[in-house]
Amino acid sequence: MHHLTATDIARSALFTALIAGGAFVAVPLGPVPFTLQVFAVLLAGMALGPRLGMLSVVAYLVLGLIAPVYAGGASGIGTLLGPTGGYLFGFILAALVAGRVVRGGPPTALRFVSAGLIGLLPIYVIGATWLAAQLELSVGAAVSLGVLPFIAMDVVKALLAAAVARSLVSSPLGLLAPQRDR
């Protein structure tokens, strides 16, 4: 098992801050707000890899228990376990999936785009399932409220995250170049 270095922690902290910043852009669209978190979560997974990308998301979720960094400045266990909590938990798997897809082969544009789009699936599945349970909705109603209004915007966020991640990991400076086991 690879131990975390100071550089790993700093990179993860940077993306934790980016996810938190993305939460402050929150536009209510029914029970689930539009935010830039999806962009930041997918970017973390693709740029840092599955392990550090997940670490960034978990750190964000823990931070939100004590600081107002969830969408719209919310915080606390009530938010994490409330109707939109499934989306927050889905972020963990989204970063993992996006990171694994990117690390699964050569860093082509198609691989990054695929990683971003596939990374949306855990957010939608866990989020809509949780929303249905919390609000006692049918799965169809939860998908209508918590997935369909976001698909077009999330696809754009996934494509932007893919473009940014690809440029970051292939930059001549190698600032976010992935290590081999991440």
Kindly report the CATH number assigned to the domain that includes residue 165: 1.10.1760.20
The predicted-structure confidence for 125-163, as pLDDT tens digits, reads as follows 999 999 999 999 999 999 999 999 999 999 999 999 999
Counted domains in the chain: 1
User: What pLDDT is recorded for position 1?
Assistant: 59
The predicted-structure confidence for 39-87, as pLDDT tens digits, reads as follows 999 999 999 999 999 999 999 999 999 999 999 899 999 999 999 999 9
Residue 19 in any domain: the answer is yes
Residue 100 in any domain: the answer is yes
Residue 18 in any domain: the answer is yes
Residue 1 in any domain: the answer is no
User: What pLDDT is recorded for position 176?
Assistant: 56
Residue 178 in any domain: the answer is no
The pTM of this model reads: 0.92
* Of 97, 23, 98, 8, nearest in space to 56 by CA: 8
Looking at every residue in the chain, the average pLDDT score rounds to 92
Distance CA 168, CA 79 (A): 32
Using pLDDT thresholds of 50, 70 and 90, give the confidence band for residue 22. Answer: very high
Distance CA 108, CA 170 (A): 10
Residue with more model confidence, 22 or 180: 22
Residue 101 sits in which domain range?
6-169
Residue 146 in any domain: the answer is yes
Residue 182 has pLDDT above 50, yes or no: no
Residue with more model confidence, 177 or 169: 169
User: What pLDDT is recorded for position 173?
Assistant: 60
Residue 86 in any domain: the answer is yes
Q: Average pLDDT for residues 18-37, to the nearest whole number?
A: 88
Q: Which residues pair with 70 in a beta bridge?
A: 74
Which residue reads 């979720």 in tokens? 61
Residue 176 in any domain: the answer is no
